[in-house]
Amino acid sequence: MDSSLYRAAQEGNLNTLREKMELIGTTQLTPNKNTLLHVLAQFNNSCECASEILRTNESLLYEVNSDGETALHIAARNGKMNVGNEMMKFAKRLDGELEAGGGALKKLLTWKNRNGDTALHEAIKNDQPEMVRLLIEEDPAIANIANNALETPLFLAVSSILEGKTALHAVASYNWEGISKELEIYPTIIKEVDDFGRSAHHYAALNGSNEVAKELLEADRSITYIVAENDNSKTALHIATCEGNVEIMEAILASCPDCWEMVTRDARNILHLSVEFEQQEAFKFIMTNSWVENLINQKDEEGNTPLHVYAATPNFHGRDLVNHPLADKNAVNKKNMTPFDVITYSDVYSVRQNTVQKELKKKDARTSVWNASILDNSSRLQKKKVYLENKRLVPIDIRKIADTQMVVAALITTVAFAAGFTIPCGYDGNDGPNEGLAILSRKAAFKAFIITDTLAMVCSTSAIFLQFIGASLTDKLKLMRSYLYAAMLVIVAMGAMVIAFMTGLYTVLEHSLGLAIIECVICSFCFPVFYYSVKRAFSESY
């Protein structure tokens, strides 16, 4: 195979493929007789490249390698869904053409390699569930095709998950529909559980097999109440909540409207779980139901309400929970901590937590009496110190911020230094007592220029010095303090530079007073920007 063509397929380089279009139309093979489409399915997942290859040479759709495999076998084995999907779409287009005679997709999906395996066999053997779903959706009948060892895809699916699972577990895992006949023959299989205590309904919820979950509910709605003993006693509703699958949640509650009452072994309800696993859609769905009033203050084994869990979660957004009129903002858990305590003494800090803390304050949330009066003072101070230290943490390297500050400070120093020796209107060059003196030295605006330029020079130089010292510090708190002071000095230096520029121009434009005033007004606009930007930055950080 042409080396540049091979690399283009490896990297998914569409431009190179188009440049080598004349080669795609010929038989380009690797030592194992892999075509360009096989190579793409091995290394890349570009649907654009797959489409370009097939459009240029449609015969590659069925070309096989030395193992009798089409590129779909390779795509299924490697989980390259885009390539596989593009191949099936191309086959459908061929079926739509009268001259093609039909059956192109069927031929592709049922093609067997040297071992008698179809693409579906390969997807199951190599644990590619998304690819399995894609293939099954195109033709469910391929699940019954046996290979040379008389293994059907269904048999392989069961064999690959041996821990006490039944065929129905595999059906639920891979979302294979049409289970009614099997349930008629084996009616008790629907309640059988594996070594984790999970039924097929649990697996349907776990893998997003929505249609199978609905079929199982129609067959026997009592499966909703089966708990997975070795999985924290979760029901299928609990698992669907953890996965954020609202469609299955709705189906379960429509069939069994009272199952929201059930809790896990650690006494967490579905509202706890939606917050803990940060499932925003599941949370919104739960909050719209009337029975949420019975869950909102329910406590788990540790005494945590959903609001405690919300306070401890770093990225979840659940303002509806804080604003709910029935939510107890000052409920205490078994550690005598309110939700406000949980977030205040958290070892993790994020901007979101700072926002939640403000939300809780607005709703009169407070620290518990126990934390306020009984906690040992030194312990409280230590927790507060940990809290303050973590509050100053940011999710990026602080030294990178310092590097930016250093560059800005150095630029200000350079400009201020240069301005000090290239003053407006220059120096008096005439002989006499004023020789060498600044011509405009008696003007008030010029004096303001000199003072602010000097201030900018001193502040920026001091900031550089602080950052230089900070580079050698290892103590986090001292490092942060050093860089914070440096940042403040840089801000002052920026303001001083603007004033120096404004007063310097005013000095030389004093004869044109209107223009000088306009210049001063325009320059003044930056100060409100400075003020509000700094105010907002500090209010979000502290």
How many angstroms separate the Cα of 104 from the Cα of each of 107, 254, 501? Answer: 5, 42, 75
Supply the pTM of this predicted model.
0.49
DSSP tag of 257: T
- Residue 405 placed within a domain: yes
Q: Of 155, 171, 197, which one is at a domain's C-terminal end? A: 155
- Residue 101 placed within a domain: yes
- Residue 299 placed within a domain: no
142 neighbors 174 (Cβ within 8 angstroms): no
Q: Of 137, 155, 173, which one is at a domain's C-terminal end? A: 155
- Residue 462 placed within a domain: yes
Total number of domains constituting the chain: 2
Low-confidence spans in the chain with pLDDT less than 50: 100, 162, 373-396, 540-542
Domain that holds residue 31: 3-155
What's the pLDDT score for residue 76? 94
Task: Name which of 157, 258, 161, 169 is nearest 209 in CA terms.
Answer: 169
Residue 376 CB-density burial (10 A; 0-12 exposed, 13-18 middle, 19+ buried): exposed
- Residue 508 placed within a domain: yes
Task: Name which of 123, 127, 126, 147 is nearest 135 in CA terms.
Answer: 123
- Residue 216 placed within a domain: no
Q: Residue 50 is part of a domain; what is its CATH number?
A: 1.25.40.20
Q: Apex CA 312: angle with CA 310 and CA 315, to 5°?
A: 70
What's the pLDDT score for residue 240? 96
Taking the C-alpha atoms of residue 199 and residue 68, their distance in angstroms, rounded to an integer, is 38
Q: Which residues contact 470 (CB under 8 A, 6 or more apart)?
A: 402, 479, 482, 483, 486
Residue 382 CB-density burial (10 A; 0-12 exposed, 13-18 middle, 19+ buried): exposed
What's the pLDDT score for residue 434? 61
Dihedral sign, Cα of residue 123, residue 129, residue 135, residue 140:
positive
Burial string for 79-104 (b: 16+ CB within 10 Å, else e) reads bbbbbbbbbbbbbeebbeeeeeeeeb
190 neighbors 183 (Cβ within 8 angstroms): yes
Residue 368 CB: number of other CB atoms within 10 A?
Answer: 19
Q: Of 90, 120, 155, which one is at a domain's C-terminal end? A: 155
